[in-house]
């Protein structure tokens, strides 16, 4: 199978993966045992049986409670190391990975424990795994804006070790413009900016407009609904903005991978790339996503190579590092 062979050998960047969404059932159970956390599920099969989603909200209702097992600095290091090890095995050369500090600080885990635990893994990855890694701190849009402000303030001592900020969680009723001031402060602190514009959410085109015009993002996560707004798409293409698509995730959160929309972005010259999102929950890491999309959309080998190229061009790596891979 030539397509599978091409994907199997193709280096790429991962730009949209939530570290908490890489918590595999095996590690979940191991951390629960280590920390004495009582879970309702006792086996890998029982954990997997809870992975039934038909919307973003139904996914988040499983995603957040699982995080209770993450308590110590070592837990966060182990989580990130497990992901980066898998990334290395999938020829991921660079990973710009999300984490959700408020999902931990809101249950009493100090910000420093989370960040220092993750940084330990991220800063070892280039030497030990050959993966250039960086952190993107996401604000939870369904928490108060003041909580995002506090999270940004807590991050400032680490500003030179955190690459960017993002916006995730339940999008309904939580437009990017609500966070424009926090994002402006984040930019002042040297962070790059990205925002989730999840698939088919209420108000999605207005959210895309706000992300582009009010927040002035440096990238968009998901965002495939932009194909419905040609003038916004033209603006994004003109700015060379990256779009981080996640086909398998789309297939859970809606009923389709949104392959035609992803292909439309590719044809329009947008820097769209393929990513894992929450691979422990949605059934595949980067390569499984790329191959699934390639098959459903009947992509040519050149299209698949272009998606991988786009992942480097949409990354926030220094230009000379990007050039090494193209």
Known binding residues for substrate are: 278
Candidate ranges 4-12, 210-218, 231-239, 277-285; the one touching Zn ion (CB under 5 A):
277-285
CB atoms within 10 A of CB 170: 18
Question: Which CB, 24 or 278, lies closer to Zn ion?
Answer: 278
What phi-psi label fits residue 135: left (phi over 0), alpha (psi between -120 and 50 degrees) or beta?
A: beta
Report d(CA 245, CA 217) in Å as an integer.
16
204 close to 233: Cβ distance less than 8 angstroms: no
Candidate ranges 75-83, 207-215, 275-283, 308-316; the one touching Zn ion (CB under 5 A):
275-283
**18 lines the binding site for ligand HPA (CB under 6 A):** yes
Question: Which CB, 169 or 306, lies closer to ligand HPA?
Answer: 169
Binding partner selected for residue 198 from ligand HPA, Zn ion, none, CB under the kind-specific 5 to 8 Å limit: ligand HPA
Question: Which CB, 204 or 249, lies closer to ligand HPA?
Answer: 249
Known binding residues are: 16, 18, 196, 277-278
| List 169, 204, 224, 306, residue binding ligand HPA (CB under 6 A) | 169
What is the x/- site pattern for ligand HPA, positions 55-74, by CB under 6 A?
-x------x-----------
Binding partner selected for residue 22 from ligand HPA, Zn ion, none, CB under the kind-specific 5 to 8 Å limit: none
Report d(CA 29, CA 69) in Å as an integer.
8
| List 78, 100, 261, 277, residue binding Zn ion (CB under 5 A) | 277
Report the relative pairing of strands 164-168 and 192-197 from DSSP bridges.
Answer: parallel
Residues 203-262 that bind ligand HPA (CB under 6 A): 249
CB atoms within 10 A of CB 17: 26
**14 lines the binding site for ligand HPA (CB under 6 A):** no
Report d(CA 111, CA 117) in Å as an integer.
10
Report d(CA 22, CA 279) in Å as an integer.
6
Candidate ranges 54-62, 107-115, 125-133, 270-278; the one touching Zn ion (CB under 5 A):
270-278
CB atoms within 10 A of CB 225: 19
232 close to 209: Cβ distance less than 8 angstroms: yes
Cα 109 from chain centroid (whole Å): 22
Q: Nearest residue by C-beta to ligand HPA?
A: 168
Residue 56: burial class (beta carbons within 10 Å; 0-12, 13-18, 19+): buried
Please tell me the count of residues contacting ligand HPA according to CB under 6 A. 11
**277 lines the binding site for ligand HPA (CB under 6 A):** yes
Which are the contacts of 240, defined by CB distance < 8 A and separation ≥ 6?
271, 313
Count of positions (residues) in the chain: 326
| List 14, 68, 96, 168, residue binding ligand HPA (CB under 6 A) | 168
Binding partner selected for residue 21 from Zn ion, ligand HPA, none, CB under the kind-specific 5 to 8 Å limit: ligand HPA
164 close to 138: Cβ distance less than 8 angstroms: no
Residues 189-208 that bind ligand HPA (CB under 6 A): 196, 198
**96 lines the binding site for ligand HPA (CB under 6 A):** no
Binding residues vs ligand HPA (CB under 6 A): 18, 21, 56, 63, 168-169, 196, 198, 249, 277-278
């Amino acid at each position: 199978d030539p397509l599978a062979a091409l994907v199997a050998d193709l280096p790429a960047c991962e730009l949209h993966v939530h570290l908490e969404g890489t918590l595999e059932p095996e590690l979940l159970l191991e951390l629960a045992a280590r920390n004495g956390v009582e879970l309702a599920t006792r086996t890998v099969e029982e954990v997997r049986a809870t992975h039934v989603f038909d919307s973003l909200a139904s996914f988040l209702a499983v995603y957040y409670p699982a995080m209770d097992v993450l308590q110590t600095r070592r837990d966060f290091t182990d989580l990130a190391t497990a992901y980066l090890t898998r990334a290395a095995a999938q020829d991921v050369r660079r990973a710009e990975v999300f984490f959700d500090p408020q999902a931990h600080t809101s249950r009493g885990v100090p910000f420093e424990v989370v960040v220092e635990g993750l940084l330990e893994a991220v800063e070892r990855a280039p030497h030990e795994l050959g993966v250039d890694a960086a952190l993107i701190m996401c604000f939870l849009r369904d928490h108060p804006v003041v909580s995002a402000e506090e999270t940004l303030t807590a991050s400032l001592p680490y500003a030179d070790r955190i690459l960017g900020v993002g916006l995730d969680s339940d999008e309904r009723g939580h437009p990017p413009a609500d966070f424009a001031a926090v994002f402006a402060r984040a930019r002042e602190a040297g962070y790059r900016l990205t925002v989730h514009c999840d698939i088919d959410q209420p108000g999605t085109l207005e959210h895309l407009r706000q992300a582009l015009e009010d927040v002035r993002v440096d990238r968009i996560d998901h965002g495939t609904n932009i194909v419905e707004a040609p003038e916004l798409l033209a603006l994004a293409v003109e700015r060379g903005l990256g779009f981080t698509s996640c086909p398998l995730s789309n297939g859970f959160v809606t009923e389709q991978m949104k392959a035609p929309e992803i292909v439309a972005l590719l044809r329009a010259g947008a820097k769209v790339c393929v990513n894992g999102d929450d691979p422990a929950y949605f059934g595949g890491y980067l390569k499984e996503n790329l191959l699934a999309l390639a098959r459903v959309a009947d992509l040519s080998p050149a299209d698949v190579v272009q998606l991988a190229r786009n992942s480097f061009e949409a990354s926030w790596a220094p230009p000379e590092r990007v050039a090494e891979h193209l």
